[in-house]
A and B are shown apart, each in its own frame.
Chain A
Amino acid sequence: MTVPNIQTPGFGTAQTYAVRRFGAPLKVKLSLPPLLWLAVFYALPLALIVVVSSAARGTYGGLLWDLSLKSYLRFFDPLYLGVLARSIGVAAFTTFICVVLAFPISWQMTRLSKRGQQIMVLLILIPFWTNVLVRLYAWMFLLGSSGPFNSVLMRLGLPPLEFLYTWKAVLLGFVYGALPFMILPLYASLEKIDKSLIEAAHDLYASSWQVFLRVILPLSKPGLVAGSVLVFASIPCDFVTPDIMGGSKYALMGNLIQQQYLVVRDWPFGSALALIQMLVIGGGLIVYLRQEQSA
């Protein structure tokens, strides 16, 4: 065995030690593979979307490079604008339902013991870790025209419910998938509220409703904003939920993009749609967050 090479550290911060000890080549050797990977498999694909959106569709679905904004102009058709408006509407409505459903349970969670709170967080997270298709199938099975829900109704002498493949079913699928994204941030900010503020409000003869509107709601704003952003942004991109719950009858932006790519094979238009959607969601979120900050 060789005698170990004993080094004496100099003065300076931990970081300068590391730099001196490892030297530049190791830094490059370590960082180059992941950076190259991300450049090729992450930056390049996104750049390709921009490039392809300016091409035209060839006769057999191939690409003709003609550098134009045709695909973007095509979007300004009432048909496509309608799909965008509908996607935004569905996302907003889903966000609203999630807020209404998430508030009571998040507030109840803050009243539990520490252990109870941890268990509840896990319980809320489980559906989030369930595959999106398993989640949707579970509802499809439960609510199908001859599913367990309808057989209970019939046994009670009630008419069966034709719920699946309607707009409401699509909304249910979205709410179910997005609910954890709302509950967890909301719970996190409700948990931080100083409970003596609520006692103080009650001592000053505020009704429960006033306490909620004037104390709890304003203080829960960070969680509400974070949850809304997460829920709202997750919806327009999802093409499976409308597909499965709505029986492919109700198209949102995600469905439109998927069709352009995989069915119609008009990649330039699909790419333009994807970029427009990202700009609309991203722009909308930035405006929303700015307003929330200044308000």
Chain B
Amino acid sequence: MKKPTGALLLSSLATLAFIYLPLLVLIVFSFNASKFNARWEGLSLRWYVQMLGNSDMRSATLNSLVVGVISSALATALAAMGALALERFHWKRKSLWEAFFFLPVVIPELMMAVGFLLLFNLVPSDLGLTKLVLAHTTLNLPIIWLIIRARLKKLDPRLEEAAMDLGATRAMAFYKVTLPLLAPAIVGGALMAFAVSLDDFFISFFVSDSASVTLPVYIYSLLRFNLSPEVNALSTALFVVSMLLVAVAFLLQGKEAHV
């Protein structure tokens, strides 16, 4: 086989640079003391401090966290029920039921956003953050369902049978055998859901109002109307948090492979 040619290596490195250059510049300049974009005036945490003092930013973060925690918990519970029901029981036309669970992943987010806008418009009173919780739970349900189902498919149903042969009740077998084995998928799925919820812009943009702005919607308004180095700090912070969440979710799923 021919050795890697220089041109191939170079163009691959160029692509990597294309992917990482903007992100690196953004992160570096979030620590810039200068008020002007391009001039570097030394390290400073000034923009982070200013960001923390910004009450709009704080309330958007709080909204994002509340919506993320509640919607990922709800979606995880519903997805686990759906995965157990479909995997552990006999279903006629199973693939149709599976498609019903899976389809929200395939439908464009903009369609779902538009649909939620129309749905919530049917409710006369103002639901505030509840709208976001309901929408994000729906967005997350199929994603976690896929993760838990994949794990459940790999689990040997005979483990639970063995526990019951040894005298465990149905509930005991589930809590002592199946649940601990499913735990990495459940926790990993919940973290993934939290990351997706924190990340979501399209649905939140259609569903939120001025009282229920989430972090990405807030960043959007800054990009449109109010650019300042603070946006660098906020973007960097969001980037780091997303990376941490996804990293832990992946580690948990990697662990799963060794069980």
Chain A residues with a Cβ under 8 A of chain B: 4-9, 14-19, 21-22, 26-27, 30-31, 33-35, 37-38, 41-42, 44-46, 48-49, 52, 101-102, 104-105, 107-109, 111, 123-124, 126-127, 129-142, 144, 146-148, 150-151, 176, 179, 195, 198-199, 202, 208, 233, 237-240, 243-244, 254, 257-258, 261-262, 267, 270-271, 274, 278, 281
Per a CB cutoff under 8 Å, which of A41, A123, A130 touches B239? A130
Whether the Cβ atoms of A138 and B115 lie closer than 8 Å is no
What CA separation (Å) do A144 and B231 show in the bound complex?
A: 14
DSSP class of A's interface residues: helix, strand, loop or mixed? helix
> A33-B78, A240-B201 known; A18 and B158 CB under 8 Å?
no
Per a CB cutoff under 8 Å, which of A16, A37, A48 touches B138? A37
Contacts of A105 in B (CB 8 A): 11-12, 15-16
Answer whether residue B124 sits at the interface, using C-beta atoms and an 8 A cutoff: no
Whether the Cβ atoms of B88 and A18 lie closer than 8 Å is yes
Answer whether residue B157 sits at the interface, using C-beta atoms and an 8 A cutoff: yes
Whether the Cβ atoms of A14 and B107 lie closer than 8 Å is no
Q: What are some 22 contacts across the A-B interface (CB < 8 A)?
A: A4-B172, A5-B169, A17-B161, A18-B90, A27-B85, A31-B85, A34-B101, A35-B82, A38-B104, A46-B107, A105-B15, A126-B23, A131-B199, A131-B219, A133-B235, A141-B232, A148-B29, A151-B39, A198-B1, A271-B118, A274-B110, A278-B111
Answer whether residue B150 sits at the interface, using C-beta atoms and an 8 A cutoff: no
Answer whether residue B43 sits at the interface, using C-beta atoms and an 8 A cutoff: no
Which of chain B's residues has its CB closest to A7's CB? B164
What CA separation (Å) do A274 and B170 show in the bound complex?
A: 48
Answer whether residue B183 sits at the interface, using C-beta atoms and an 8 A cutoff: no
Contacts of B52 in A (CB 8 A): none
Contacts of B1 in A (CB 8 A): 195, 198-199
Contacts of B107 in A (CB 8 A): 46
> A271-B114, A271-B118 known; A146 and B195 CB under 8 Å?
no
Contacts of A101 in B (CB 8 A): 15, 18
Sort A-B residue pairs by CB-CB distance and give the 7 closest, nearest first: A45-B115, A151-B38, A31-B85, A138-B22, A34-B82, A30-B85, A4-B167
Whether the Cβ atoms of A38 and B201 lie closer than 8 Å is no
Which of chain A's residues has its CB closest to B106's CB? A233
Whether the Cβ atoms of A18 and B219 lie closer than 8 Å is no
Whether the Cβ atoms of B104 and A42 lie closer than 8 Å is yes
In the complex, how many residues of chain B place their beta carbon closer than 8 angstroms to a beta carbon of chain A? 85
What CA separation (Å) do A240 and B19 show in the bound complex?
A: 19
Contacts of B246 in A (CB 8 A): 129
Chain B residues with a Cβ under 8 A of chain A: 1-2, 4-5, 7-9, 11-12, 15-16, 18-23, 25-26, 29, 36-39, 78-79, 81-82, 84-86, 88-90, 100-101, 103-104, 107-112, 114-119, 122, 134-135, 137-138, 141, 145, 157-158, 161, 164-165, 167-170, 172, 195, 199, 201-202, 206, 216, 219-220, 223-224, 231-232, 235, 238-239, 242-243, 246
Whether the Cβ atoms of A134 and B238 lie closer than 8 Å is yes
Contacts of A37 in B (CB 8 A): 78, 137-138, 141
Per a CB cutoff under 8 Å, which of A17, A34, A108 touches B9? A108
Q: Taking the nearest CB of chain B, how far is it from the CB of A29, in angstroms?
A: 8
Which of chain B's residues has its CB closest to A30's CB? B85
Contacts of A129 in B (CB 8 A): 195, 199, 242-243, 246
Contacts of B167 in A (CB 8 A): 4-6
10 extra A-B contacts, CB within 8 A, seeds A104-B8, A108-B9: A7-B165, A30-B81, A34-B145, A132-B216, A133-B219, A137-B231, A237-B109, A237-B202, A239-B110, A257-B114
Whether the Cβ atoms of B134 and A41 lie closer than 8 Å is yes
Whether the Cβ atoms of B220 and A133 lie closer than 8 Å is yes
Whether the Cβ atoms of B169 and A131 lie closer than 8 Å is no
Contacts of A176 in B (CB 8 A): 18-19, 22
